[in-house]
């Protein structure tokens, strides 16, 4: 009986202990739940998650994300559940936890995980955690996986990590860690994966990392700025499969010891300052699949030993200083898919077997000194998508096989010496988007498309065949180019009529048929090309009258019909084309009176020269029926209009001033109780703290959207508060708030973070993180003594890259995509480390949609930055942002404002083009004289990109993604003599 009682006592003690432990887990999870902010979520999913955490009885069976073993919580998995708020330290009370996954949420604030002795996997990635990671890692002795990628962690890399003897996977990339990589990281000998990429690390890469012989993947590049070069000890990493040291300012040569990495499949050393030759020892890397050494300063030839890289798929050596011929063995790589060798000094011929026995998909050999003919089998595998061979000395004909290469998307063969005819079907390939064969010696005719039908249209967007010897009529099947935006056929020998089917090019923006032998009349169907902005039909044999249908093209801004045989009168309706800024009707057979109304009043007399039968006051050739008395009342009415307009402006200004005073008084009368604050992350201040900042003494800026105030919160955090100008009542609807929430949820390193949105019945406040060094505009043009000297050349180039990355995110990676609409130097803010952050993104569009005044400059942009097409389309898109960004680049180069420094009616674009003749080599004429050391090649490159961005035709401007690529991949100087310094 006694033993039985002892057994019962022991049994109940176990049950009690079991229940007590489960209760402990329950309370820990309840504390964790209290830190979550489900109200900030934009979906219903989190409420379901949080709602399931409501009963201790069902903890192990029905709580979402919870797994138990032996009555204890062993796994907490909240991955990608769109949760907001903070993570309570109480999570460390889940003593038996083996797996903790919090990745893919919106958690903010600091986090500390300790005393979880069974924890093996910890994933905090893709959140907004901040602070440091200086934890007691000795209390996590079994941790094997630690992933903190893509957060806002700062401070130095944690030294305590060296106590994690079982650690296999460590990812601290995509944060703001600073300082050097600790040498003690070389003691983590169990590591198989290490990523420190995308931080602010400096100093040398410690050679001790060469002790991590179990490493399979190593990532150290992007944003980090290392001194010296690649440690030769990396040759000891015998198990390494993937090594990425891209874009981290490495110098010196590639160590010969890299040839010891026999298992290496991927080696990325691109966008650095590496010099010397390519080591022949890299030929030992027989497992190599991806090799990228591009955008460095490598010299010499491609070593013969690379013949052994039989598994290679990607081979990038572009933007170096390599010379010699392209080895024949490159054509024998059986798995080759991507070969980029552009912008080197390669000579000789392209290997004739290239593509024959390969899976070639992308080939770019442009900007070299290659000669010979184009290999005939480049598309043998029927996988070739990109073919770029421009700017070489290639001759011979275009291989007929390319005319049936249905996978081609981009083809650029211009600026060579190619002859012969264009293969049949080449321009009608189904996937082809870009075809450039300009500046060659091609002859023959353009064939009609077989099986021509409207349902069988192509994807061609840009076609450039200019400056060849092509002849014959323009094909009627041009109508199949329903997506065509740019058509350049100038400088050939085309004859016959312009086909009426040209009117079916509904998306075309630019047409240039100049310098041909085209005859007949201009088809009236041209008026159906409603997106056309540029039309050049000059230097042909065109006759007949100018069709009035041209005036229906409401956004045409360039029209050149000169040196033809056009007759009759110039249609008066052309004067109503307010978009038309340049027109040339010279040297035709036009007659009659020249219209003087509308746009004709702004054209030069030279635009009508060589038409002796034309008459009018502009030509100093008065017509017999002209009277002068009509001008006096017209002048009088203009004067009256100016007076009325001035009085109207004065009255509007007075009304606005009175309204502003009344609004300011009512703002101060309202207490914080009438305000509601929507926070986009966990904040340690209240709406009352924000309102305290909104007073005249704190004003730090004024713009088209509102007034900006600086404030310091009780906890010491500095913020910027933008008080938006008045809205109509419908601005408070759910649509506007949803748009503001979209802005608040944007997270990018180079975009100013929107912390909160405060609103009452009359006023809206946006709360941003504060940027201590103000705007780029202030740094460049500010009145502070020495204000300009803050920015040396290296810092300016860096700011250009960073601001481009911010805009690129808005245009291409944000959801929904956002057009900034007011890109300018004053909207690029600099933090304490002079890192660029794009501000006021998307706000102008949201203000328009919500009923704000459409007179605000922020709606269309700011004077000096507005793209030319806005004047006649009143529409803004991402290419308008690109134009404005080009102006910012010119400011960085010249140190001048966009307007005011060049005389009346002249802006920075006109001045820069006139001073340099649009030649990048002349950039020294416009460089800011206050800059000391500026590498000329970098200045030329920055100017070249600026010129691309500010092209008149928006279609020809690059995308922001292309701008980022051009800025980032340029091999920059990193010697002390060229580095910038921050002066105070």
- CB under 8 Å to 872, separation ≥6 — which residues? 554, 555, 557, 578, 579
Q: Report CA torsion sign: 568, 572, 576, 580.
A: positive
Does residue 309 contact residue 333 with C-beta atoms inside 8 Å? yes
Does residue 156 contact residue 133 with C-beta atoms inside 8 Å? no
Tokens representing 814?
Answer: 């944000």
In 258-391, DSSP assigns E strands to: 266-268, 273-277, 290-292, 297-300, 314-316, 321-325, 338-340, 345-347, 362-364, 386-388
- CB under 8 Å to 559, separation ≥6 — which residues? 535, 550, 574, 580, 582, 583, 584
Query: How distant, in Å, are the alpha carbons of 521, 554, 880, 891 from that of 907?
Result: 39, 25, 17, 12
- The single-letter DSSP state of residue 688 is H
What 3-state class would DSSP assign to 370? coil
Q: Report CA torsion sign: 173, 175, 177, 180.
A: positive
Q: How far apart are CA 440 and CA 431, in angstroms?
A: 24
Nearest to 202 by CA among 184, 219, 223, 216: 223
Catalytic residue, chosen from 244, 292, 822, 840, is 822
Q: How far apart are CA 851 and CA 575, in angstroms?
A: 34
Nearest to 480 by CA among 450, 515, 439, 510: 450
Beta bridge partners of residue 347, listed in sequence order: 325
Nearest to 83 by CA among 148, 36, 150: 36
Does residue 815 contact residue 842 with C-beta atoms inside 8 Å? no
Q: Please give the biggest Cα pair distance in the chain.
A: 137
Q: How far apart are CA 284 and CA 15, in angstroms?
A: 63
Cis peptide before 204 (omega within 30 of 0): no
Angle at alpha carbon of residue 382, lines to 380 and 388, rounded to 5°: 80
| C-alpha distance across the termini of the chain, in Å | 89
Q: How far apart are CA 543 and CA 522, in angstroms?
A: 8
Query: How distant, in Å, are the alpha carbons of 656, 838, 840 from that of 717?
Result: 34, 20, 21
Nearest to 827 by CA among 771, 874, 869: 771
Q: How far apart are CA 126 and CA 173, in angstroms?
A: 10
Nearest to 205 by CA among 175, 188, 185: 185
CA 566 to centroid of chain Cα atoms: 46
CA 590 to centroid of chain Cα atoms: 48
CA 232 to centroid of chain Cα atoms: 35
822 is catalytic: yes
Residues noted as catalytic: 822
């Amino acid at each position: 009986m006694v033993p039985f009682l002892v057994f019962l006592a022991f049994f109940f003690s176990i049950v009690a202990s079991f229940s007590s432990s489960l209760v402990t887990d329950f309370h820990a999870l309840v504390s964790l739940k209290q830190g979550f902010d489900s109200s900030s979520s934009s979906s219903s999913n989190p409420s379901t998650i949080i709602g399931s955490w409501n009963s201790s009885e069902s903890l192990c069976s029905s709580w979402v994300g919870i797994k138990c073993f032996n009555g204890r919580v062993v796994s907490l998995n909240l991955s990608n559940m769109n949760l907001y708020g903070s993570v309570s330290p109480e999570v460390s009370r889940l003593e038996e936890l083996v797996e903790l996954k919090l990745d893919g949420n919106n958690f903010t604030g600091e986090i500390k995980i300790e005393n979880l002795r069974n924890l093996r996997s910890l994933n905090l990635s893709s959140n907004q955690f901040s602070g440091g990671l200086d934890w007691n890692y000795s209390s996590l002795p079994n941790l094997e996986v630690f992933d903190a990628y893509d957060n806002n962690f700062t401070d130095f890399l944690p030294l305590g990590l060296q106590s994690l003897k079982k650690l296999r996977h460590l990812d601290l990339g995509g944060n703001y860690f600073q300082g050097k990589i600790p040498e003690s990281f070389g003691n983590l000998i169990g590591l198989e994966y290490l990523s420190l990429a995308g931080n602010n690390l400096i100093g040398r890469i410690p050679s001790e990392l060469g002790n991590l012989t179990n490493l399979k993947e190593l990532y150290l590049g992007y944003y980090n700025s290392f001194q010296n070069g690649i440690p030769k000890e990396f040759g000891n990493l015998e198990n390494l499969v993937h090594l990425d040291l891209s874009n981290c300012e490495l110098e010196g040569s590639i160590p010969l010891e890299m040839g010891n990495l026999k298992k290496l499949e991927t080696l990325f050393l691109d966008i650095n300052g590496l010099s010397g030759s390519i080591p022949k020892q890299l030929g030992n890397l027989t497992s190599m699949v991806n090799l990228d050494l591009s955008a460095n300063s490598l010299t010499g030839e491609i070593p013969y030993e690379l013949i052994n890289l039989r598994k290679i798929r990607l081979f990038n050596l572009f933007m170096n200083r390599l010379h010699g011929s392209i080895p024949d063995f490159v054509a024998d790589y059986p798995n080759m898919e991507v070969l980029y060798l552009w912008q080197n000094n390669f000579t000789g011929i392209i290997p004739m077997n290239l593509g024959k026995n390969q899976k070639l998909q992308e080939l770019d050999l442009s900007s070299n000194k290659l000669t010979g003919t184009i290999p005939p089998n480049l598309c043998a595998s029927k996988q070739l998508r990109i073919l770029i061979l421009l700017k070489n000395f290639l001759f011979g004909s275009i291989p007929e096989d390319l005319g049936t290469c249905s996978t081609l998307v981009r083809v650029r063969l211009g600026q060579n010496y190619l002859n012969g005819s264009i293969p049949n079907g080449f321009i009608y390939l189904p996937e082809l988007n870009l075809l450039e064969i300009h500046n060659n010696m091609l002859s023959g005719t353009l064939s009609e498309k077989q099986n021509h039908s409207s349902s069988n249209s192509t994807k061609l967007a840009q076609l450039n065949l200019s400056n060849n010897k092509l002849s014959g009529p323009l094909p009627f099947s041009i109508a199949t180019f329903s997506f065509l935006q740019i058509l350049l056929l100038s400088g050939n020998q085309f004859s016959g009529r312009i086909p009426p089917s040209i009117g079916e090019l509904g998306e075309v923006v630019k047409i240039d048929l100049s310098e041909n032998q085209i005859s007949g009349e201009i088809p009236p169907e041209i008026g159906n090309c409603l997106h056309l902005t540029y039309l050049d039909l000059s230097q042909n044999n065109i006759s007949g009258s100018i069709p009035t249908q041209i005036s229906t093209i409401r956004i045409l801004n360039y029209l050149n019909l000169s040196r033809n045989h056009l007759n009759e009168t110039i249609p008066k309706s052309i004067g109503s084309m307010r978009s038309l800024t340049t027109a040339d009707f010279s040297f035709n057979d036009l007659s009659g009176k020249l219209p003087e109304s509308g746009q004709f009043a702004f054209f030069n007399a030279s635009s009508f020269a060589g038409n002796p039968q034309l008459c009018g006051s502009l030509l100093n050739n008065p017509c017999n029926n002209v009277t002068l008395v009509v001008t006096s009342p017209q002048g009088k009415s203009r004067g009256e209009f100016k007076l009325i307009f001035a009085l109207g402006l004065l009255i509007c200004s007075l009304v606005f001033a009175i309204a502003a005073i009344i609004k300011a008084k009512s703002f101060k009368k309202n207490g914080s109780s009438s305000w509601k604050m929507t926070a986009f992350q966990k904040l340690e201040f209240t709406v009352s703290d924000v309102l305290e900042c909104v007073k005249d003494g704190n004003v730090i800026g004024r713009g088209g959207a509102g007034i900006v105030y600086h404030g310091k919160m009780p906890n010491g955090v500095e913020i910027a508060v933008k008080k938006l100008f008045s809205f109509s009542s419908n601005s408070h609807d759910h649509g506007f708030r949803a748009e503001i929430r979209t802005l608040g949820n944007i997270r990018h390193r180079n975009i100013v973070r929107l912390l909160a949105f405060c609103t009452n019945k009359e006023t809206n406040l946006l709360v941003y993180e504060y940027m201590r060094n103000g705007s780029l505009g202030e740094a460049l043009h500010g009145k502070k003594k020495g204000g300009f000297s803050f920015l040396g050349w290296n810092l300016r180039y860096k700011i250009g890259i960073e601001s481009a990355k911010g805009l690129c995110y808005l245009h291409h990676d944000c959801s929904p995509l956002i057009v900034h609409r007011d890109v300018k130097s004053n909207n690029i803010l600099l933090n304490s480390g002079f890192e660029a952050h794009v501000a006021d993104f998307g706000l102008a569009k949201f203000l328009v949609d919500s009923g704000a005044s459409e007179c605000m400059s922020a709606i269309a942009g700011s004077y000096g930055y507005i793209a030319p097409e806005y004047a006649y389309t009143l529409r803004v898109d991402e290419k308008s942002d690109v134009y404005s960004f080009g102006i910012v680049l010119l400011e960085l180069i010249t140190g001048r404002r966009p307007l005011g420094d060049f005389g009346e009616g002249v802006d920075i674009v006109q001045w820069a083009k006139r001073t340099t003749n649009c030649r990048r080599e002349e950039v020294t004429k416009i460089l800011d004289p206050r800059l000391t050391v500026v590498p000329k090649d970098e200045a030329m490159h920055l100017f070249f990109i600026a010129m691309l961005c500010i092209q008149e035709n928006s279609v020809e401007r690059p995308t922001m993604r292309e701008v980022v690529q051009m800025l980032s991949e340029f091999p920059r100087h990193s010697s002390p003599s060229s580095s910038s310094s921050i002066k105070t």
